[in-house]
Amino acid sequence: MSAKIISGTEVAKQIREEIKAEVQELKAKYGSVPGLVTILVGENPASVSYVTAKQKTAKELGFYSIQDNQPEDITEEQLLALIDKYNKDEKIHGILVQLPLPKHINETKVLYAIDPDKDVDAFHPVNVGKLVIGEAVFKPCTPAGIQELLIRGGVEISGAEVVVVGRSNIVGKPIANMLLQKAKGANATVTVVHTGTKDIAAHTRRADILIVAAGKPKAITADMVKEGAAVIDVGVNRIGVTPEGKAKLAGDVDFDAVKEKASLITPVPGGVGPMTITMLMKNTLEAFKYSLKNK
């Protein structure tokens, strides 16, 4: 029997409707709305596409939004001054600097310059620290999307054996931290495997929940998956071109084989991907609500 497919597109749509309704309520009550600025340096085509999608979503949800485009040759000092301006802007609750930045700019310095209360990507060490100790105001967007897919997919997380494949700062480490917290939608036993792990399959076969962010197409095959496991595939790999000339994508999981063994699985595309921007919007809403409490 094939696994149930969790559509990130559908779940993201539900969450956006919830955000939109809450924004309308808050606007009626306080006369203001969440504000998001996306800062784009240069004209990298992928980055332009990402920020356009983020701005479009923000506007659809009723946010106040600014797209601040800066030239490729902006100095680090000028970019830091721009961030400082938005840190002080009371109409802005979320600041997002689109990565990658040009080589002459120190990305770490720029990300650390963002006010942690406006760091809706949750990359600032203050927010990373809060996440680790279970006091997160914002959760990193992709891991937060994974957690929502599991919860809304009806997966029992508490007490489950979770195996995370990959230890990146953006996905692997934060989702591991989030799922081991003593909290709702967490409380799991978590193992992280990576390129230094001697026998990855020995661990993945134990997983009730398998989260794969390996960065390698079809790295997880059916023989590496426990019967009835919930499988979340974070990977997006270009493996060729379709007859129509579009990029052919594959996840980090051998979807066709694994779906015959898993109880639940996310597709690529249409799984984790659509959740990331949605959770960015949720973080911006949380930042707005946090600012209201602290006025």
* Contacts for 216 with CB less than 8 Å, ≥ 6 apart: 235, 237, 252
118 CB burial (10 A radius; 0-12, 13-18, 19+): buried
CA dist list (Å): 167 to 37, 103, 193: 29, 25, 7
Of 54, 173, 259, 282, which residue is the catalytic one? 54
14 classed as catalytic = no
What's the CA gap between 20 and 92, in Å, rounded? 18
E-strand stretches of the chain:
4-5, 35-41, 64-70, 94-97, 161-165, 189-193, 209-212, 230-233, 237-241, 247-250, 264-265
Of 55, 98, 147, 181, which residue is the catalytic one? 98
Closest to 274 measured CA to CA, from 24, 50, 70: 50
**SS3 category, 84:** helix
Of 117, 119, 121, 233, which residue is the catalytic one? 121
256 classed as catalytic = no
Q: Are the beta carbons of 275 and 11 closer than 8 angstroms?
A: yes
What is the token pair recorded at 147? 């957690």
198 classed as catalytic = no
Q: Within 13 Å, how many C-alpha atoms sit on residue 188's CB side?
A: 26
What's the CA gap between 192 and 74, in Å, rounded? 39
Cα 140 to the chain's mean position, in Å? Answer: 6
Catalytic residues, by residue number, are 54, 98, 121
